[in-house]
Homo-oligomer: A and B are copies of this chain.
Amino acid sequence: MLPNRKVQNLIGKRVRVEMKGDASILEGTLMSVDDYMNLYLEDTSEIVNGERTRILGPVILRGNNIILLTPVEE
């Protein structure tokens, strides 16, 4: 299964995304993904230095700035 297909299989599930920039990690429900791996998350928490902060509303992440994506085990 190709990487992008693997991400599509995670739609509707909680994912953890590590972005470029100052150690920025996000957890949210994956709503959609496109061919560039741009992501649309809802119900998102930002994790900075281990601390979780609630972010309301949708969040769009630019695919080329994603380092890694992994499903959150529940």
Contact = CB atoms under 8 A, between A and B. Distances in A.
Given A3-B38, A3-B40, A7-B60, A67 B32 contact: no
Interface residues of A, number: 40
A47 interface: no
B68 A67 contact: no
A12 to B, nearest CB: 13
Interface of A: 1-4, 6-7, 18-24, 26, 31-34, 37-40, 55-71, 73
Q: What 10 pairs across the A-B complex have the smallest Cβ distances?
A: A3-B38, A3-B40, A62-B66, A60-B69, A59-B70, A6-B40, A3-B60, A2-B34, A21-B67, A57-B71
